[in-house]
Amino acid sequence: MHNFHDAQELTKALCPDIPVLLNRPHAARRAARYFVDRFPGKSLYAVKANPAPALLKLLFSEGVTHYDVASIDEVRVVHRHLPDAVLCFMHPIKSEAVIREAYFDHGVRVFSLDSIEELEKIERATANAEDLTLCVRIKVASEFAQISLATKFGIDIDDSKSLLMRTRQTAENLGICFHVGSQAMTPLAYVHALERVRTAIVEASVTVDIVNVGGGFPSIYPDMAPPSLNHYFSAIDRNFEDLPISYSAELWCEPGRALAAEYNSLVVKVEQRRGTELYINDGAYGSLFDAAHLGWRFPVQLLNDHVEAPAATEFSFYGPTCDDMDHMAGPFLLPDTVKAGDYIEIGMLGAYGSAMRTQFNGYGSTDDYDVRDEPMASLYVGENLDRTDRDNIVSFPGA
């Protein structure tokens, strides 16, 4: 694969007519090393954020050896490319056939659950195995997250006592897990969730071997500047140490966005301009699902050799399909000089961009290349790399 310094150099050399994903392996390596070195426990990469084999292998080479898989296809992909990786099947609802294949064919020993029914499925599908690590998912709030994950999975604390006691009888190692939602903008999200973990443990009076704080670790986007991840890690560590758990209990997390977001950006071509609406060659059914359906504002820049006007005009995007829903409202700030034939780089798409891509309406083809420049924003360099330890973790979004 030919490497380029940046998107500008690539577009001058190739003048691409289809969208181009730009890979930044150095950015993903940096993120992986930060979690491996700084998180006070074990980091499981959430494969759903970006299942690209090259990224999986890169993270493994930097010490991320455990993978949060949520489907049998993710199990197969990771096991095929990383046979020595530890696979943790963290989807709380699975078919018996899937559990059986994961356990007997791919060596999966870690499963999550949030009901007695799921526990019984795991027992039957694994032939009452005695080497299981079972993590009971409890329901926690998502009030500090940009995307809520508070309703679909997780058992209420008031109902968790019997499930924890019953799971303790089956599991070689018992865990409790939760998810505070995607893009949690303050460490308080984890502090509040860990208080619910405390309540669940005390009421069930069980020995807990693993506390898994899940994902939700943020990245930087326009109008979303979270505190340093170090403050999240410090708050989690302090509250984990105060839990009534086994002295040898392990702390886990499941970063997805935080490990993958800076890995990719996207180069798109402007096919037409109508006022402040730009018709581009990727969109809601391609790499920009979040921009269309969640109103996510990604950083953008116009790739142009000429002297730039300020990026002060608010644009919206239309994607290439025939569907009106192929619309990204933004606003995306670009110079008012942008015109048909220009190229735009859209940053921070390593998390969920390529994972959500479809072939709807015959679109979806991309090229990809490695580049050497820095991502448009990073939590791992400069002033964002705050390694100080704060005793006061009461920080709120925007504070």
Question: Looking at the structure, do residues 208 and 84 belong to the same domain, yes or no?
Answer: yes
- Within this chain, do residues 274 and 197 fall inside the same structural domain, yes or no? no
Planar angle of CA 196, 201, 205, nearest 5 degrees: 155
pLDDT bucket at 231, cuts 50 / 70 / 90 = very high
Task: Give the Cα separation of 227 and 112 in Å (integer).
Answer: 30
Same-domain status, 200 and 338: no
| DSSP-based three-state secondary structure for 133 | strand
**212 bridge partner residues:** 177, 252
Q: How far apart are alpha carbons 144 and 157 in whole angstroms?
A: 19
Phi, psi of 199 (to 5 degrees): -60, -45
Give per-residue pLDDT as tens, 17-50.
999 999 999 999 999 999 999 999 999 999 999 9
Q: Identity (one letter) of the amino acid at 29?
A: R
The Cα-based distances of 68 to 92, 116, 235, 252 in angstroms read 12, 22, 23, 11
Average pLDDT over residues 320-346: 95
Using an 8 Å Cβ cutoff, are 286 and 329 in contact?
no
* pLDDT above 70 as % of the chain: 96
Both 169 and 289 in one domain: the answer is no
Domain boundary, last residue among 244, 259, 274: 259
pLDDT tens track for 164-195: 999 999 999 999 999 998 999 999 999 999 99
pLDDT of residue 309: 80
How large a percentage of the chain has pLDDT more than 90? 85
Same domain, 156 and 287: no
Residue 191 and residue 145 share a domain: yes
The residue type at 125: A
CA angle 292, 295, 297 (to 5 degrees): 100
One domain for residues 248 and 276: no
- Residues 50 and 162 reside in one and the same domain: yes
Q: Which two tokens stand for residue 14?
A: 């190739």
Q: If DSSP states are collapsed to H, E and C, what string results for 9-21?
A: HHHHHHCCCCCEE
Across 310-323, average pLDDT: 94
**Predicted confidence (pLDDT) at residue 275 exceeds the cutoff of 70:** yes
State which of 211, 226, 259 marks the end of a domain.
Answer: 259
Residue 144 forms part of a structural domain: yes
Q: Which helix (H) or strand (E) holds 175?
A: strand 173-177
From 332, 382, 326, 379, select the one nearest 351 (Cα to Cα).
379
Whether 194 and 176 have beta carbons less than 8 Å apart is answered as no
* CATH number of the CATH domain containing 203: 3.20.20.10
CA distance 392 to 311: 37
- Tally of structural domains, the chain: 2
DSSP notation for 365-379? --EEEEB-S--SS-S
Which residue, of 211, 235, 259, is where some domain finishes? 259
- The partner residues of 344 in beta bridges, in order of sequence, read 268, 302
Listed residue (271, 268, 273) closest to 347, CA to CA: 268
- pLDDT of 195-209, one tens digit each? 999 999 999 999 999
CATH number at residue 361: 2.40.37.10
User: CA 144 to CA 141: how far, in whole Å?
Assistant: 8
Does 393 map to a domain? no
Q: Quick check: is 397 in a domain?
A: no
Residue 359 CB-half CA count within 13 A: 2
Q: Within a domain: residue 295? A: yes
Amino acid at 252: W
Domain-embedded: residue 61: yes
Cα separation, 294 vs 301, whole angstroms: 21
* Dist CA 263 CA 347 (whole Å): 9
Q: 49: closest CA among 236, 264, 223?
A: 264
Q: Residue 399: what pLDDT?
A: 39
The H-or-E segment that residue 269 falls in is strand 264-274
Would residue 113 count as lying in a domain?
yes
Q: Does one domain contain both 155 and 280?
A: no
pLDDT exceeds 90 at position 253: yes
Buried b (16+ CB within 10 A) or exposed e, 68-100: bbbbbebbbbbbeebeebbbbbbbbebeeebbb
Distance CA 283, CA 289 (A): 7
The residue that leads in pLDDT, 305 or 108, is 108
Range of the domain at 298: 7-22+261-370
User: Are residues 201 and 243 both part of a single domain?
Assistant: yes
Confidence of residue 272 (pLDDT cuts 50, 70, 90): very high
H or E segment to which residue 81 belongs: helix 72-81
Query: How many CB atoms are closer than 10 A to CB 106?
Result: 17
The pLDDT score that the predictor gives to residue 386 is 66
Whether the pLDDT of residue 1 is over 60: the answer is no
| CB distance 260 to 62 below 8 Å | no
| 74 and 16 both lie in a single domain | no
pLDDT bin (cut points 50, 70, 90) of residue 307 is low
**Same structural domain for residues 111 and 239?**
yes
Q: Residues in the chain, how many?
A: 399
How would you classify the pairing of strands 264-274 and 250-253? unpaired
Identify whether 56 is part of a domain.
yes
* 361 inside domain: yes
Residue 238, classed as helix, strand or coil, is: helix
